[in-house]
Structure 1
Amino acid sequence: MIKQVLVVAAGGAIGAVLRYLNAKAFTHFFGTPLPWATLIVNVVGCFLMGIAYTLLLDKYQVSDSMRLFVMMGVLGALTTWSTFSMEAVLMLNYGEYFKAGIYLFLTFFLCLSAFFVGMRLSA
């Protein structure tokens, strides 16, 4: 159990740093991390989770530790449902209904599509 916790923690540290660097880069190049930086990490993370699901669970026999490291650790920390929820609620609170609607639609549609495409490409 302790080994698995450490494996998830190590992967989580990498995923969290990648998410932080994405937000910083997005702010540097585009001026604001909200909400598009979150959308990007969620879509990319879902795409990679689709690939990881197919490759690590179906196609290849990898260790439980590797699956935990990649899927729960790195990709779990890279993507963020809590930040997505906060950003959507803030847009609604500020009366930005159209922007919130587009953000909600794009997040759901692109993340589900990215996961599906990731699975198909790696099958």
Structure 2
Amino acid sequence: MLEKLGLIALAGAAGTLARYWISGFVYGLAGRQFPWGTATANILGCFLFGLIWQLGEGRMLIRTETRAIILTGFMGAFTTFSTFIFESGGLIEDGRYLTALANVGFQTVLGFAALFGGLMLGRMF
């Protein structure tokens, strides 16, 4: 168990560094008028999540343990947006369109509310 946690932590560190590098590279090319660096990391993360999941679950080319380390560690640090999209996509694939819409709306609206709540609380100190 400790070995698995260590590998998840190492993969997380790699994911963090990859996001930092990719975002910085894209911002250097495109500027900061639009959050292109974050958008690139999020979209690339969604693609990689789908690819890794399919290679592991669908094709059985990536062992379950390895897939968990990559998806939880690397992808979790690279972008949690990919997990959000993957879970919402699963709801759509299951024909649960209203639940998918509710998930997207719920997390988006409450995410903004939490952000601004945190900003307001932080301004009080």
Report the TM-score, using the length of structure 2 for normalisation: 0.57
Query: For residues 10-32 of structure 1, what are the alpha-carbon distances to aligned partners after superposition, in whole Å with 9 as ceiling and x for unaligned?
Result: 11111111100012112222222
Q: Counterpart in 2 of 1:60?
A: 60
d(CA) in 1 for partners of 2:18, 2:5: 20
d(CA) in 2 for partners of 1:33, 1:19: 19
How far is the alpha carbon of 1:69 from its aligned partner? 2.3
| Aligned structure 1 segments of 4 or more residues deviating by more than 6 angstroms | none
Q: Which amino acid aligns with 2:41?
A: V
Q: Counterpart in 2 of 1:103?
A: none
Q: Which amino acid aligns with 2:6?
A: L
d(CA) in 1 for partners of 2:77, 2:17: 9
Contact 2:30 2:36 in 1 (8 A): no
How far is the alpha carbon of 1:34 from its aligned partner? 5.3
Q: Counterpart in 1 of 2:16?
A: 16
Moved more, 6-15 or 25-34: 25-34
Q: Which amino acid aligns with 1:30?
A: A
Q: Counterpart in 2 of 1:77?
A: 77
Greater radius of gyration (CA):
2
Q: Counterpart in 2 of 1:97?
A: none
Number of matched residues? 85
d(CA) in 1 for partners of 2:6, 2:15: 14
Report the TM-score, using the length of structure 1 for normalisation: 0.58
d(CA) in 2 for partners of 1:73, 1:56: 16
Q: Which has the higher contact order (CA 8 A, sep 6+)?
A: 1
Contact 1:27 1:33 in 2 (8 A): no
d(CA) in 1 for partners of 2:33, 2:65: 33
d(CA) in 2 for partners of 1:7, 1:54: 21
d(CA) in 2 for partners of 1:33, 1:67: 36
